[in-house]
Structure 1
Amino acid sequence: MSLSVALQVAQSALTTRQRETSVLAQNITNATTDGYSRKSALVSSLRSQNGTSGGITVDSISRATDQALLSNLIAATSSAMTGEAYLDGIQRLSQTIGDPIEGRSPSAALGNFVNALQQYSAEPQNTVLAGAVLTSAEDLANTLNTATRAVQAERERADSLLADSVTTINTLLSDFEAVNNEVVRGTNSGNDITSALDQRDQIVLELSEFMGVRAETRGSNDMIITTDSGVMLFETTPREVKFEQKTTFVAGASGNALLVDGVRIAGPGATMPVSEGKIVGLMNIRDDVAVTYQTQLDEIARGLVTAFKETDQGAGTKPDRVGLFTYSGAPAVPASGTVIAGLAGDISIASSVDPDSGGDINRLRDGGISEPYDADYVYNTGGEAGYVARLQEIITELDKPMSFDPTAKVDPSNPLASFASSSASWLEGERKQADGVNERTSVVVARTAESLSNITGVNIDDEMQAMLEIERSYSATAKLITTINQMLEQLLDLAG
């Protein structure tokens, strides 16, 4: 080998080691960066025209990858985010109104009211006990009112988060377009695209947090993305994701659907619904669990109005009228077994029994609450201070099974107190189930991410060891160049 060829080989070795050092430095710098995959310089030999060795060069940069594990992580992330969003909504409902032990829950407030009513029935002439009944009735009505506001507030919150999610999805798709174009151009021109591939995979992973997605690579490393239901999200250009937020919710009102390129993928009327992701969990809170719990609250309110209804004590030909508990549809009594949306937020105490509003508290005992000037709705016609029949009739009504709307998803033929308790148990059961699902899916994500990191992540110790080996090779090559330089100088001296 001539000295010129040896110098060429040594120079190529120096250039190659510099490139390898740069790759290792990049690995070390990004060791803790989310979505970064370990890079490696692929070195190949150079050959001269006569076939002899002409040195070495970095042929390309590769990255550590495992597409099967990445796909599993994308799917697991979507599933985990479904459960996380759903659990968060359930917990907020439970913490606000769902604990049957605390006085602010409808079940506990109903229990306090029934206890006060039973004590009053033992001493119907005691106005202090009558006042306690009225106070507990007001607390019960206020609890149902507050619970309704809390449910609708949670629906509004879920709707707002859906709007935020759509904004983020559209931003991610726009970012994906830029990175995907970079990958395609780099592939066609032979440039290093490993960093762009990392960014693209990371964007897909972030998209999977919001909805189930499927990614497919085709020619020139171009990628297309669809939802898990098959709706196109990205092909050359991003598809428009649209959602119209509602500023306020009232009981019985429906939220809007989420659309991709005009196709409903979540919410009312979804024709190709996605099955996983944050938007699914939020839709389940907004349109399912919160609506069901509102129905239960409305049925508790209807049960109260019905239990206290007053009947015609005369000829029996007049229609039933509401009593202690009233609502905007009074004086008519709600139909049996049919939910009235928003009744829990509408229920109140009849002013004709409230002394602060000019009413007579003894009407609790005597009747005539809804029609105080119609004697046919008065039960205690003799004005007896010890009259107890009406109170006992109400207590009996509260203990009797009632017909509830089956959409409430609890036993439709329970006594009112049992129905209220079952409602709280249903919500707690939903919370526990969601908590268990969330715990399992979180473990799957963590283990899948760990497995992928073991394959694609950066081990600082390994990178530093490789760096030391390159430094030794670099030193040896530098020493070789120095030796060649000395030999060339000697030749020049001899020739001079």
Structure 2
Amino acid sequence: MSLSVALQVAQSALTTRQRETSILAQNITNATVEGYSRKSALVSSLRSENGQSGGITVESIARATDEALLSNLMKSTSAAMTDEIYLDGLTRLSETIGDPSEDRSPSAALGNFLTAMQQYSAEPQNSVLASAVLTSAEDLANTLNEATRAVQSERERADALIADSVTTINTLLEDFEAVNNEVIRGTQAGTDITSALDQRDQIVLQLSEYMGIRAETRGSNDMVLTTDSGVMLFETTPRTVSFESTTTYVAGTVGNALLVDGVRVAGPGATMELSEGSLVGLMKLRDEAAVTYQNQLDEMARGLITAFREADQVGTNPDRTGLFSYSGSPTVPASGTVIAGLAGDISIAASVDPDQGGDINRLRDGGISEPYDADYVYNTGGEAGYVTRLQEIITELDKPISFDPITMVDPSNSLQDFASSSASWLEGARQAADAVYERSSVVVTRTAESLSNITGVNIDDEMQAMLEIERSYSATAKLISTINEMLEQLLDLAG
């Protein structure tokens, strides 16, 4: 080997080691950066035209990756976000409305009211006990009113989060387009695209938090994205994700659907429904869990109104509402059918409330529904110890009645048992969601750890590689020094 060739080999080695050192330094610097994949130099030999070795060079830069694990991480992330969002919503409902052990829960308020009724029936002439019944009835009506507001507020919150998520998704898709184009150009030009690939993977992972994503890579490293239901999300250009927010919810309000490229993928009328992602959890909370709980509250209200209905004592006129009133009074609600929003509409009849000019004794005597129609008065003799009407109401409250099956609890139960079952249903749903989220979050953690073990940076390994490069650099420097000495000796001989 000539000295000039030897010098060329040494120079190429120095250049290559310098490039390798730069890559290692990059790895060490970004060791804690989320989504960064370890980079490594692919070194190859240089050959002259006659096939003689001419040194080494960094042919390309590779990044550590595992497509199967990345795909699993995307899927598990989508599933975990579905469970997390749904659990968060159920927890908020539980915290806002309470449970049977708290006075602010519908079940507890109903229990207090029944206790007051029983005490009053033992002493129907006691005005203090009558006032206690009225107060507990007002508390019960207010509890149902507040619970309805809490449920609808949670639906509004879910709807707003869906709208915010859609904005974020569209922004991510625009970012994805820019990075994907950079990857394609770099692939075609043969330049380093490893950082762009890292960035693209992170965008896809962020998208998978909102909806299930399927990614497919084709020629020139171009990537195509579809939802887990098969709707095109990105191909060359991003598809539009749209959602029209509903700012105010009342019982019975139906929220709007989520669309991808004009196709309904979540919400009412979805034809290619998403399976996973935070948007699925929000839709499930807004359109299923909250609606079911609202139906249960409405059925409690209907049970109360029905139990206190007053009958015509002398004629054939229809039954009329009594102590508990609503906007449809004096008509008694139909049996076994949810009336949307009844829990938010229920109130105390003014004719029995002294603060509204009413007579509290109508609790005992009847005639609440029609103060000026004696046909609805039960205690026609005006007896202070009249107890028949109160006992009749207590019996009504204690016997099974027909509830709408869409409430998803026992449709033939007493009002108190139905209220307790409702609270149990909500808590049961929360606990089940908690157990599911616990499992799915473990899967995400373990999958992420497995991927990190393959693609992440180990500082010890990088430092060891740095030492090896340093030794190689020293050997190359020594070779150059030797070549320099030989050249000087040749020059001296020639001089």
Q: Deviations over 1:272-330 (max 9, x none)?
A: 00000000000000000000000000000000000000000012x10111000000000
TM-score by structure 2 length? Answer: 0.99
- How far apart, in 2, do the equivalents of 1:243 and 1:493 lie? 84
- Listed as ranges, the matches of 1:135-214 within 5 Å are 135-214=135-214
Confirm or deny: 8 A CA contact 1:98 1:427 kept in the other structure.
no
- How far apart, in 2, do the equivalents of 1:37 and 1:98 lie? 47
Structure 1 match to 2:317: 318
Determine helix, strand or coil for the equivalent of 2:210. Answer: coil
Q: Where do 5+ consecutive residues of structure 2 fail to align?
A: none
Structure 1 match to 2:451: 452
Structure 1 match to 2:14: 14
Q: Deviations over 1:417-464 (max 9, x none)?
A: 000000000000100000000000000000010011111111000001
- Listed as ranges, the matches of 1:463-482 within 5 Å are 463-482=462-481
> What one-letter code is carried by the residue in structure 2 that aligns with 1:361?
I
Q: Deviations over 1:71-111 (max 9, x none)?
A: 11110000000000000000000011141110000000000
- Listed as ranges, the matches of 1:97-116 within 5 Å are 97-116=97-116
Structure 1 match to 2:279: 279
Structure 1 match to 2:117: 117
- How far apart, in 2, do the equivalents of 1:428 and 1:151 lie? 15
Structure 2 match to 1:487: 486
> What one-letter code is carried by the residue in structure 2 that aligns with 1:409?
M
- How far apart, in 2, do the equivalents of 1:137 and 1:98 lie? 18
- Listed as ranges, the matches of 1:46-445 within 5 Å are 46-315=46-315, 317-445=316-444
- How far apart, in 2, do the equivalents of 1:16 and 1:156 lie? 60
- How far apart, in 1, do the equivalents of 2:51 and 2:241 lie? 58
Displacement, 1:494? 2.1
Displacement, 1:493? 2.3
Determine helix, strand or coil for the equivalent of 1:341. Answer: coil
Confirm or deny: 8 A CA contact 1:212 1:227 kept in the other structure.
yes
- Percent pairwise identity: 83
Q: Deviations over 1:326-382 (max 9, x none)?
A: 000001000000111000000000111111111111000000001000000000000
- How far apart, in 1, do the equivalents of 2:288 and 2:277 lie? 16
Q: Deviations over 1:3-35 (max 9, x none)?
A: 111100000000000110111111111111111
> What one-letter code is carried by the residue in structure 1 that aligns with 2:469?
I
Determine helix, strand or coil for the equivalent of 1:60. Answer: strand
Determine helix, strand or coil for the equivalent of 2:112. Answer: helix
- How far apart, in 1, do the equivalents of 2:32 and 2:274 lie? 32
Displacement, 1:471? 1.0
> What one-letter code is carried by the residue in structure 1 that aligns with 2:213?
V
- How far apart, in 1, do the equivalents of 2:336 and 2:171 lie? 48
- How far apart, in 2, do the equivalents of 1:402 and 1:211 lie? 42
Displacement, 1:50? 1.4
- How far apart, in 1, do the equivalents of 2:443 and 2:450 lie? 11
- How far apart, in 2, do the equivalents of 1:172 and 1:334 lie? 50
Greater alpha carbon shift after TM alignment, 328-337 vs 469-478: 469-478
> What one-letter code is carried by the residue in structure 2 that aligns with 1:388?
V
Determine helix, strand or coil for the equivalent of 2:80. Answer: helix
Displacement, 1:489? 2.0
Q: State the aligned residue count.
A: 495
- How far apart, in 2, do the equivalents of 1:30 and 1:161 lie? 33
Determine helix, strand or coil for the equivalent of 1:172. Answer: helix
- How far apart, in 2, do the equivalents of 1:377 and 1:485 lie? 120
Q: Deviations over 1:143-192 (max 9, x none)?
A: 00000000000000000000111011001100100110011111111111
> What one-letter code is carried by the residue in structure 1 that aligns with 2:23?
V
> What one-letter code is carried by the residue in structure 2 that aligns with 1:32?
T
- How far apart, in 2, do the equivalents of 1:382 and 1:287 lie? 52
- How far apart, in 1, do the equivalents of 2:412 and 2:70 lie? 50
> What one-letter code is carried by the residue in structure 1 that aligns with 2:358?
G
Displacement, 1:248? 0.6
> What one-letter code is carried by the residue in structure 2 that aligns with 1:36?
Y
- How far apart, in 2, do the equivalents of 1:188 and 1:60 lie? 14
Confirm or deny: 8 A CA contact 1:266 1:280 kept in the other structure.
yes
Displacement, 1:486? 2.1
Greater alpha carbon shift after TM alignment, 302-311 vs 486-495: 486-495
- How far apart, in 1, do the equivalents of 2:377 and 2:79 lie? 60
Confirm or deny: 8 A CA contact 1:98 1:428 kept in the other structure.
no
Determine helix, strand or coil for the equivalent of 2:386. Answer: coil
Displacement, 1:69? 0.7
Displacement, 1:487? 1.8
CA RMSD of aligned residues (A): 0.7
- How far apart, in 1, do the equivalents of 2:377 and 2:493 lie? 135
Determine helix, strand or coil for the equivalent of 1:209. Answer: helix
- How far apart, in 2, do the equivalents of 1:167 and 1:413 lie? 45
- How far apart, in 2, do the equivalents of 1:161 and 1:486 lie? 73
Confirm or deny: 8 A CA contact 1:308 1:325 kept in the other structure.
yes
Determine helix, strand or coil for the equivalent of 1:140. Answer: helix
Displacement, 1:490? 2.2
Displacement, 1:48? 1.0
